[in-house]
Amino acid sequence: RFDSIAMAAPDAILGIGEAFAADPRSEKMNLSVGVYKDAAGTTPIMQCVKAAEQKILESETTKSYLPIDGLPDYRNAVREMLLGDQVPADRVAVLQTPGGTGALRVAAEFLATQCSPTRVFVPNPTWANHTAIMRAAGLPVETYRYLGSDRHSLDFQAMVDDLTENTRPGDAVLLHACCHNPTGVDPTTDQWQEIAKLLASRGLIPLLDFAYQGFGDGLEEDAAGLRTVLQHCDEAIACSSYSKNFGLYSERVGAATLIAATPSATAASLSQLKIVVRANYSNPPRHGGAIVATVLADPELTKIWKTELEGKRLRIKQLREQFVAGMKQQPGAPDFSFLLQQKGMFSFSGLSAMQVDELRTKHGVYVVGSGRINVAGMNEEKMDWLCQAVADVM
Ligand code: LMR
């Protein structure tokens, strides 16, 4: 009976947003969920998106179902954005999915049902939802070491050792294509080469979570990890999201992209992926994918989008610099210069669970329990206030 159901714990990331919304204090700051906020503390709709929506409003003639794998123009645009022309189109299957989370779930169910007894190796630490998604799909989860004991840099040797010693051929390895969540610590170009060779030589399936393209070093630059993997491996799955780089969070727009060695393997894999989708959400929602496709089909809108995205990327870099400089002004506070090497929205602050707690209760600053800070939620005007709060709890 329902009255015997136990209360679940709040979500490790989204649960904090709920607590923030319920906090009556006027001086507060939400640095938990990975959402970009501008200098006024809002998350406005991008101009290119508004313009595309106007076009869609005028031209759309039906709300009939999309195909199971989504809007063809969107799927082509995703393939180009991820892969350029590196892989022939007949070796690539793209499915439009409800967000990057939807893509991960589809990929996980595909791996669990079609590639059994595959297991998936995820980095430690990783996005709080990865393990839950994989397990919910029936895919066994193992971890590999990622962050060094300084909590600021990659322990590459440990990562290589774990992937060499603990994996079996046919296992999948989840990699963050750029802007590692939660740490902001990415492999270097040379390390990506080594990772790619290791995956290929051990017969491991690369599973790339690509949610932050455009927030690290730039749109093309951020695709280098995925493209390096594909220089050495002839099979992979990439799960991408347009929540962040198009600011389409609530439209739930993402893609699962499978690359196979031959066109016939691609077609068979696509047919199985469609079965996974059909038994789950049937076919994807149209609007978000239509926005992305409309922007990318129009050179003028594409130009506006790239400028807007680059503006966000550079502003996050500035916020990192401002925070590091602000912390230097705080007597006795630790040096945060490591934030300058990290990429994307997030950084591991080094705050303990107790300090995270105190930051929330005493100062109204909300960060994830692991100490992950969403730099993209900071704000120039309140930077001194934030630095004082962080220094106080440290
Ligand atoms: C995050 O890590 O904050 C984002 O990916 C949003 C989410 O769904 O957790």
CATH for 2-45+301-393, options being 3.10.300.10, 3.20.20.100, 3.90.1150.10, 3.40.50.300: 3.90.1150.10
Average pLDDT estimate for 48-76: 97
User: Residues of 188-225 as b/e, b for ≥16 C-beta within 10 angstroms?
Assistant: eeebbbbbbebbbeeebbbbbbbbbbbbbebbeebbbb
50 Cβ neighbours under 8 A, 6+ residues apart: none
C-alpha distances (whole Å) from 242 to each of 21, 202, 313, 360 are: 25, 32, 15, 30
Alpha helices in the chain (DSSP H): 14-22, 47-59, 72-83, 99-114, 130-136, 156-165, 189-202, 219-222, 224-232, 263-278, 287-297, 299-328, 353-363, 383-393
Task: Indicate whether 19 pLDDT > 90.
Answer: yes
Task: Indicate whether 245 pLDDT > 90.
Answer: yes
Q: Which of 195, 209, 192, 232 is nearest to 87 (CA)?
A: 232
Cα(347) to centroid(ligand 1), Å:
13
Active site residue 244: yes
Nearest residue (by CA) to ligand 1, atom 2, is 34
Task: Indicate whether 116 pLDDT > 90.
Answer: no
Task: Indicate whether 89 pLDDT > 90.
Answer: yes
172 Cβ neighbours under 8 A, 6+ residues apart: 111, 115, 118, 119, 120, 121, 139, 204, 205, 206, 207, 237
Give 262-281 pLDDT, tens digit per residue. 999 999 999 999 999 999 99
Pull the structure tokens for residue 252: 């739930």
Average pLDDT estimate for 98-118: 97
For ligand 1, whether the C-beta of 240 sits within 6 Å is no
Task: Indicate whether 330 pLDDT > 90.
Answer: yes
- What does the pLDDT read at residue 96? 98
Task: Indicate whether 289 pLDDT > 90.
Answer: yes
For ligand 1, whether the C-beta of 215 sits within 6 Å is no
Pull the structure tokens for residue 57: 């409003």
- Give, rounded to a whole angstrom, the gap between the first and last alpha carbons of the chain: 47
Mean pLDDT of the chain: 96
pTM of the model as a whole: 0.96
Catalytic-role residue among 37, 127, 171, 343? 127
Distance CA 230, CA 95 (A): 19
Could you please report the per-residue DSSP string of 113-174?
HHSTT--EEEEES--TTHHHHHHHTT--EEEEE-B-TTSSSB-HHHHHHHHHHS--TT-EEE
- What does the pLDDT read at residue 387? 96
User: Residues of 278-295 as b/e, b for ≥16 C-beta within 10 angstroms?
Assistant: eeebebbbbebbbbbbbb
Task: Indicate whether 249 pLDDT > 90.
Answer: yes
Q: Does domain 65-297 have CATH number 1.10.3720.10?
A: no
State how far Cα 87 lies from the chain centre: 23
Task: Indicate whether 299 pLDDT > 90.
Answer: yes
Using a pLDDT cut of 90, give the percent of the chain over it: 96
Return the ligand 1 atom nearest residue 368 CA. Answer: 3
Average pLDDT estimate for 318-332: 95
- What does the pLDDT read at residue 84? 96
Catalytic-role residue among 162, 171, 186, 209? 209
**CATH 3.40.640.10 spans which residues of the chain?**
65-297
**CATH 3.90.1150.10 spans which residues of the chain?**
2-45+301-393
Cα(37) to centroid(ligand 1), Å:
14
- What does the pLDDT read at residue 224? 98
Per-residue pLDDT band for 151 (boundaries 50, 70, 90) equals confident
Q: What is the 3-state secondary structure (H, E, C) of 31-45?
A: CCCCCCCCCCCCCCC
Give 46-59 pLDDT, tens digit per residue. 999 999 999 999 99
Nearest residue (by CA) to ligand 1, atom 1, is 34
For ligand 1, whether the C-beta of 34 sits within 6 Å is yes
